Structure 1
Amino acid sequence: MKNGTKPMYQQISDDLKRQIATGELAVGAKLPTEMELTKVYKVSRITTKRAVEILAEDGLIIRRPGRGSFVLGEPQKYERKQTAMFGAVVAGIAAPFGQCLIETLSEEVWEREGSLLLLQSHGKPDLEADAILKLKQLDVDGLLIWPSAGEYLGAEILQLIVERYPFVLIDRQVKGMETKSVGTNNVKMTKEALAYLFSQGHRDIGFVSMEPSFNSSVEERLEGFIESHADQGIAIQREAWLVDAKTDLLYEQLVDLLQRNPTLTALFVTEYELAVRVWESLQSLGYRVPTDISLICFDSPEELAGGVCFTHVKQDEVAIAKEAVALLKRAIAGDAKPERVLLDGELVLGDTVAARKQ
């Protein structure tokens, strides 16, 4: 098998590669030892050693000390595919609504043979704007945006609308503007939460939220709160609304709310983190939840410290994430039609609602 144009070790290596390709040396088979190869090819051991090294370098064999070399087979050739690059800007990953959402976004993008660049805004509008600009500079094909809970949508998001840049809003919408968005049916799920409170005999129910202006999720939950009272023929007590709750003033705000509305037996809180602060403030004020006052909210972890689980509306983060990726794929493909997808959640009964005392 001598060929003057190639070194002998290369000729031996080529011959062994041929045997592997044709199956003469099957996958998993033990390769002849270097000493055995010297006898077959009538060359020095240095030559066969180099031939075997080439097979190992090419990934055709695996060498196991003390046991020998074994055939792995012909390396598979994969055609490189053009993949979509998705960018995601999320408010946070520590909140109950967020952890599963982000995991599912990553899995869904991967299954669609795309890649995901994710940046976190920590709920701060300025960081959100920076993240959007950075991802655009990285030339992502489209953006998935879970906006921060500010008083308004940032200028960078509005600029995306003007530019007709492919993006999808998660858990928000821009009223009167053409966008694609996906989130929970907040009106319907708030009405389910209130229906449960009504079934427990509660009629005097307070509403607690951060400033709802420009925050579509909070506005929709307030809408559901109002509609649920209207459906039951129960008068709305606007003086029992706290719609500008502030973290540093919440204790004083609750004192004022409860003093002005001594007949309140339940509170509906629009989001979990605010509900935790309300719960802590009630404890400090000497109220027992749910013995003295019931508490219901959107989202919650399995339990708080001390084993308390909030009665809450659980949003379907998996379905929301999957729908968001599907919407963005359509937007990237040129579908500019505005779409709003609303998904049902689930009312989870916990430890913070009890029947109203007679």
Structure 2
Amino acid sequence: MKNGTKPMYQQISDDLKRQIATGELAVGAKLPTEMELTKVYQVSRITTKRAVEILAEEGLIIRRPGRGSFVLGEPQKHERKQTAMFGAVVAGIAAPFGQCLIETLSEEVWEREGSLLLLQSHGKPDLEADAILKLKQLDVDGLLIWPSAGEYLGAEILQLIVNRYPFVLIDRQVKGMETKSVGTNNVKMTKEALAYLFSQGHRDIGFVSMEPSFNSSVEERLEGFIESHADQGIAIQREAWLVDAKADLLYEQLVDLLQRNPTLTALFVTEYELAVRVWESLQSLGYRVPTDISLICFDSPEELAGGVCFTHVKPR
């Protein structure tokens, strides 16, 4: 195949375009590698590399690092997306944070004339992994991930990091790894919550959370809790910490906490849904909130069931 009027890379590119147009290379088919093309056309790899680049520039193929190049189709039928399409994987949508997150993401994408595909993991790592795979298969331009709680990130997220796939973690940081993340200034917000309790005369304050090592946000809130006491010169009461709260054992755990710390006048709870369970358990134990004990948490609606005002700090 020689044509003196065109460079060789252009001739190869034209031949591959012809194969795509005629269906010899069908949509979704994997393009021969650059090394394979060098053997077919008897040229250098630099030449085939440029030919393949032309196909990618014209939107005829998509290049997948580590996997190869795949046919998209004829340019007039398969033009590249003119607007961005993002995928979002969220742990849940029932909690106030989840509702606010989805509303904000939708507004931001809409204002930029983009599209948002949303999948919910319900906080389950296996569903999270499936959601990430599905969105990648849909060729989204990037992912926004509010990960499920756990000591380690899921394998699919780690694979995104290794492959340098564009994604942003929400409300989670990964120590020692280069990732983009956005989240609340948990230390600052916790200190604001504690400052309010201190201003109300509270000195004996308990800390209630799920396992901190499973969640960087919880770790940061514990850090803010400790710093607040240090700033006020108030001794930390570690025996007043419940840092492994479990839904099915919470009632018994609170009984133990309050029996060991009878002088507690307030509890700081790291998240809304856990705070609801704490409040319900306190009610069952005969405590009136806030008359007998005060309760403050992150991200609560203005009122709970029964019209009880719930003091909280809004993540920002």
Question: Could you tell me the TM-score, scaled by structure 1's length?
Answer: 0.65
Contact 2:209 2:244 in 1 (8 A): yes
Change (3 A) 1:264 1:110: same
Cα 1:297/1:4, change in 2 over 3 Å: closer
Q: 1:224 to 1:7 in 2, by over 3 A?
A: closer
Question: Which whole-Å CA distance do the structure 2 matches of 1:55 and 1:163 have between them?
Answer: 23
Q: Structure 2 vs 1, CA of residues 125 and 31 (structure 1 numbering), >3 Å: closer, same or farther?
A: closer
Contact 2:60 2:78 in 1 (8 A): no
Counterpart Cα distance in 2 of 1:228 and 1:185: 14
Contact 1:20 1:73 in 2 (8 A): yes
**Structure-2 separation of matches of 1:69 and 1:165:** 16
How far apart, in 2, do the equivalents of 1:26 and 1:253 lie?
A: 62
Distance 1:111 1:75, change over 3 A: farther
Indicate how the Cα distance of structure 1 residues 285 and 115 shifts in structure 2: closer, same or farther if over 3 A, else same: same
Q: Is the 8 A contact 2:28 2:72 kept in 1?
A: yes
Report the 3-state secondary structure (helix = DSSP H, G, I; strand = E; otherwise coil) of the residue aligned with 1:184: coil
Question: Is the alpha carbon distance of 1:287 and 1:149 closer, same or farther for their aligned partners in structure 2, counting shifts above 3 Å?
Answer: same
Taking structure 1 as reference, are residues 61 and 134 closer, same or farther at Cα in structure 2, changes over 3 Å only?
Answer: closer
Query: How big is the shift at 1:74?
Result: 30
Q: Determine which structure has greater relative contact order: mean sequence separation of CA pairs < 8 Å that are 6+ residues apart, divided by chain length.
A: 1
Q: Distance in 2 between matches of 1:65 and 1:142?
A: 15
1:280 aligns with 2:280: yes
CA distance in 2, matches of 1:65, 1:211: 37
**Residues 82-126 of structure 1: CA deviation (Å, up to 9, x unaligned):** 121201001111111111221221121122122111100011111
User: How far, CA to CA, are the matches of 1:48 and 1:174 in structure 2?
Assistant: 40
Contiguous gaps of at least 5 residues in structure 2:
none
Query: Are 1:300 and 1:309, in contact at CA under 8 Å, matched by a contact in 2?
Result: no
Question: How far did 1:150 drift?
Answer: 2.5
Name the CA distance, whole Å, in 1 between partners of 2:50 and 2:172.
64
C-alpha separation in 1, matches of 2:290 and 2:128: 38
Q: In structure 2, do the counterparts of structure 1 residues 34 and 126 end up closer, same or farther at CA, with 3 Å as the change threshold? A: closer
Distance in 1, matches of 2:66 and 2:144, equals: 53
Larger radius of gyration: 1
Give yes or no for contact 1:91–1:123 (8 Å, CA) kept in 2. yes
Q: Indicate how the Cα distance of structure 1 residues 298 and 79 shifts in structure 2: closer, same or farther if over 3 A, else same.
A: same
What is the alpha-carbon distance in structure 2 between the residues aligned to residue 9 and residue 176 of structure 1?
43
1:67 and 1:275, CA in 2 relative to 1: closer, same or farther beyond 3 A?
A: closer
4 and 310 in structure 1: CA distance in 2 versus 1, 3 angstrom threshold: same
**Structure 1 CA distance, aligned partners of 2:122 and 2:85?**
23
Structure 2 distance, partners of 1:298, 1:218, is: 11
Cα distance in structure 2, aligned partners of 1:67 and 1:211: 39
The alpha carbon displacement at 1:158 in A equals: 1.4
- The correspondence of residues 91-240 of structure 1 with structure 2, limited to 5 A, is 91-240=91-240
Deviation at 1:307, TM superposition (A): 1.1
Q: Which moved more, 1:121-130 or 1:2-11?
A: 2-11
Q: Is the 8 A contact 2:20 2:73 kept in 1?
A: yes
Deviation at 1:275, TM superposition (A): 0.2
SS at the partner of 2:113?
A: coil
Deviations 1:54-102 (A, max 9, x none): 9999999999999999999999999996121201001111111111221
Q: Per the alignment, do residues 262 and 91 of structure 1 end up closer, same or farther by CA in structure 2, a change over 3 Å counting?
A: same
Q: State the 4+ residue runs in structure 1 displaced beyond 4 angstroms.
A: 1-81
Residues 301, 54 of structure 1: alpha-carbon distance in 2 compared, 3 angstrom cutoff: same
Identity value in percent: 98
Deviation at 1:309, TM superposition (A): 2.5
Q: Give the Å deviation of 1:2.
A: 53
Q: Deviations over 1:263-321 (max 9, x none)?
A: 1110000000000000000010011111111000001123111112310011xxxxxxx
* 1:305 match: 305
Is 1:152–1:213's contact at 8 Å kept on the other side of the alignment?
no
Indicate how the Cα distance of structure 1 residues 262 and 141 shifts in structure 2: closer, same or farther if over 3 A, else same: same
Is this contact kept in 1: 2:204–2:263, CA < 8 A?
yes
Task: Please say if residues 59 and 80 of structure 2, whose CA atoms lie closer than 8 Å, have aligned partners that are also in contact.
Answer: no
Q: Distance in 2 between matches of 1:16 and 1:8?
A: 12
**Cα distance, 1:200–1:75 mapped onto 2, change above 3 Å:** same
Tell whether the 8 Å contact from 2:149 to 2:214 is kept in structure 1 after alignment.
no
| Aligned-pair CA distance for 1:43 | 68
**Closer/same/farther in 2, CA of residues 47 and 160 from structure 1, 3 Å limit:** closer
Query: Partner residue of 1:294?
Result: 294
Shift of 1:156: 1.3
What is the alpha-carbon distance in structure 2 between the residues aligned to residue 63 and residue 161 of structure 1? 18
Q: 2: distance between equivalents of 1:44 and 1:191?
A: 64
Q: CA RMSD in A?
A: 15.3
